[in-house]
């Protein structure tokens, strides 16, 4: 079995069908990507956002959970901000929590984990930022300076 990355249409479907997102490896440090993503999802989406970090009591003013098993409901999307060597444990927790999608953030790819998650009935997105994908489909890329409003492949020669 070879894992196939979901196309744009499938990623949009995943985001449209999800009601909640659990950010595993969430940080209350503004310099961390998980902080920026959490801030964006709280402000710009309808998702219920759960922060998972066993070392924190709160993240962005919200309760932090020690594990996915501690969440009050099954996560639709488990957004992972952990090092690749932690992925087997995260996959095991996500599967036990009946997660629908395992979403590995930018820079995180593991085809074996993707195949195991797919075999467990989960959708898998790898090496993509959920904030960027959500913004792409909901017109919010300008919030991070990605959309300049200029569509051109030509340089200004003046």
Give the whole-angstrom CA distance, residue 89 versus residue 23: 15
Give the whole-angstrom CA distance, residue 134 versus residue 129: 9
DSSP state of 151: -
Task: Count the Cβ atoms, other than its own, within 10 Å of residue 83.
Answer: 10
**In the chain, domain spans:** 8-139
Give the whole-angstrom CA distance, residue 95 versus residue 48: 20
Handedness of CA 26, 21, 36, 64 (dihedral sign): negative
Give the whole-angstrom CA distance, residue 65 versus residue 48: 14
Q: Quick one: pLDDT at residue 149?
A: 47
Structure tokens at 31: 């310099």
Give the whole-angstrom CA distance, residue 88 versus residue 105: 15
* β pairing state of 123-125 and 58-59: unpaired
Beta pairing partners, 64? 51
**pTM to 2 decimal places:** 0.87
Averaged confidence pLDDT in the chain: 89
Beta pairing partners, 125? 103
SS3 of 50, please?
strand
Query: CATH second-level architecture of 8-139?
Result: 3-Layer(aba) Sandwich (3.40)
Contact 76, 104 (CB under 8 A): no
Q: Quick one: pLDDT at residue 143?
A: 47
Q: Quick one: pLDDT at residue 73?
A: 98
pLDDT exceeds cutoff 60 at 144: no
What is the widest separation between alpha-carbon atoms in the chain? 60
Q: Quick one: pLDDT at residue 142?
A: 52
């Amino acid at each position: 079995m070879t894992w196939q990355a979901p196309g744009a249409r499938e990623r949009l479907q995943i985001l449209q069908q999800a009601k909640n997102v659990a950010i595993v490896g969430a940080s209350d440090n503004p310099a961390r990507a998980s902080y920026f993503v959490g801030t964006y999802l709280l402000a710009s989406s309808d998702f219920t956002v759960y922060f998972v970090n066993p070392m924190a009591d709160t993240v962005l003013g919200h309760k932090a959970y020690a594990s996915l098993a501690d969440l009050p409901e099954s996560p639709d999307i488990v957004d992972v901000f952990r090092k690749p060597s932690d992925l087997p444990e995260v996959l095991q927790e996500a599967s036990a929590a009946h997660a629908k999608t395992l979403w590995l953030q930018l820079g995180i790819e593991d085809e074996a984990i993707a195949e195991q998650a797919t075999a467990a009935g989960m959708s898998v997105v790898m090496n993509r930022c959920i904030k960027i994908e959500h913004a792409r489909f909901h017109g919010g890329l300008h919030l991070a300076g990605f959309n300049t409003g200029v569509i051109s492949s030509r340089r200004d020669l003046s």
